[in-house]
A and B are shown apart, each in its own frame.
Chain A
Amino acid sequence: MALVGTTSLPMLLDLFEAGKLNITPMVTHGMRARRSDILKQSANKEFSPDFKFVDVERAYEVFGKAAETKALKVNIEM
């Protein structure tokens, strides 16, 4: 049995800083660069550019219904 250990974090941070990790497509809710995409798709109002913390319960709903909302990683701003 093993959990993630996070021993790889220093290396991942270096790669992140160097722009070597292509991770932006998986942040579906809250990415500045994808706001226009998100708004375009937001006919069903499931998409919002950023969740505020007061909406965290709503964020849970959107994340919990991923098949409907296409949510991957949501971003909650304090």
Chain B
Amino acid sequence: MKALVYNGPGKIAVEDRPQPKVEQPSDAVVKLTRTTICGTDLHIIKGDVPTVPNGRVLGHEGVGVVDSVGPDVKNFKKGDRVLIACITSCATCTFCRKSMLEMCKNGGWKLGHLIDGTQAEYVRIPFADNCLYNVPKGADERSLLVLSDILPTGLEVGVLRGGVKPGCTVAIVGAGPVGLAALCTAQLYSPRKLVMFDRDESRLEVSRKMGATHTINPSAGQGVKELAKEHFGEIDGFDVVIEAVGVPATFEMCQELVGAGGTIANIGVHGSKVDLHMEKLWARCISKWACCRVRCKL
């Protein structure tokens, strides 16, 4: 089969690889129909994720058709159309039983990282009963792909950890795919303001199509506080600020935008250290820190 293989920093190639087979009784092999690329894949190619060995098939998102299943797989059979979850979880370890699937002792982020991933014609999915989902009938599989990773990420790490509530104000810094996923899912909780920040006008335009109430381009010269002031209100900032870029400048921006008693939820994958301005934030009762999605698992 053809697969996209990582061959060390800066090197990827489509190669012929043996087709994966069921190895464990709970495995399924899925024939991919669609896959996509994540910012994390770019991090891997840059060499930022040293746990990915040379020769690894990349990709942790995909939609496909079940090709074969191990004897323990109960919920899926050959021919089923499935969505693949980016996180592998066994459903039985201590963490899984606390609904912390990302910390699964037998799983976690494995696809396209510790085992071969979805940018290939076939992929082996461990614990298939827990990691595959039936594709809803008639679903547009092109857009369904965003449910493998970025939509749950925007919701779970940004919106839920940030504590978005009806009537609150939300700032999202970064209108890339994950920022937009947070924008999409934040609306499930009816915030009264949903303000997107990005330097790219075309991304701001997409944000408006997806339900942003306001958009701000911070490259306009003024400070971000000045640009966003009209949205601040009594708490002098936003209730929830979601960081979806992962560089020091945007993390700084979030600290300027968070209101008294507010929350910063960080989704961005940071490649370098960032400053936390406790000298400014302590008196503002930034009560909750929704810490990080760390995709590049430590």
- Contact surface of B with A, Cβ cutoff 8 Å: 2, 4, 12-14, 31-37, 41-42, 45, 64, 83, 85-87, 89, 99-103, 108-109, 119, 121, 133, 136, 139-140, 142-147, 149-153, 155-157, 160-161, 176-177, 180-181, 184-185, 187-188, 200, 202-203, 206, 209-211, 291-295, 297-298
Contact, CB under 8 Å: A13 / B180: no
- With A1-B291, A4-B87 known as contacts, the answer to whether A75 contacts B33 (CB < 8 A) is no
Instruction: Pick the most buried of A17, A26, A28, A64: most chain B CB atoms within 10 A of its CB.
Output: A26
Pair A17/B139 contact, Cβ less than 8 Å: yes
Chain B residues near A77 (CB-CB < 8 A): 33-34
Task: List 10 additional contacts besides A32-B142, A63-B37, A76-B34; criterion CB under 8 Å.
Answer: A1-B291, A3-B295, A9-B85, A20-B188, A21-B185, A22-B184, A56-B119, A73-B36, A74-B37, A76-B37
The 10 closest A-B pairs by CB, nearest first: A3-B102, A17-B136, A4-B153, A5-B101, A5-B102, A6-B85, A25-B209, A6-B87, A26-B180, A63-B37
**Contact call A5/B87, Cβ cutoff below 8 A:** yes
Q: Which of B89, B155, B157, B187 has the most CB of A within 10 A?
A: B155
Contact B211 A73 (CB under 8 A): no
User: How far, in angstroms, from A13 to B148 measured CA to CA in the complex?
Assistant: 10
- Give A29-78 interface residues, CB cut-off 8 Å to B: 30-32, 53-54, 56-57, 59-60, 63-64, 66-67, 70, 72-78
Main secondary structure of the interface of B (DSSP, over half): mixed
Minimum C-beta distance from B61 to chain A (A): 9
| Beta-carbon nearest neighbor of B88 in chain A | A6
User: With A25-B209, A57-B13, A75-B34 in contact, is A5–B146 under 8 Å at CB?
Assistant: no
A-B residue pair count with CB separations less than 8 angstroms: 174
Q: What A residues does B177 contact at CB under 8 A?
A: 26, 72-73
B14/A54 in contact, CB under 8 A: yes
Q: List 20 A-B contacts (CB under 8 A).
A: A2-B100, A2-B103, A2-B161, A3-B102, A4-B152, A4-B153, A4-B156, A6-B149, A6-B156, A7-B99, A7-B156, A9-B147, A10-B133, A13-B136, A23-B181, A27-B146, A54-B2, A57-B4, A60-B41, A66-B176
CB distance from B62 to the nearest CB of A (A): 9
CB-CB nearest in chain A for B99: A7
Chain B residues closer than 8 Å to A22, beta-carbon distance: 184, 187, 210-211
In Å, the complex CA distance between A78 and B64 comes to: 9
> Which of B64, B140, B160: most chain A Cβ within 10 A?
B140
CB distance from B172 to the nearest CB of A (A): 13
Q: Which residues of B contact A56 (CB under 8 A)?
A: 4, 14, 119
Chain A residues positioned under 8 Å from B176 (CB to CB): 66, 72
Docked CA distance A23–B140 (Å): 11
Please pick, from A3, A15, A53, A63, the residue contacting B87 in the complex, using a CB distance under 8 A. A3
A2 touches B42 (CB 8 A): no
CA distance A3 to B114 in the complex (A): 15
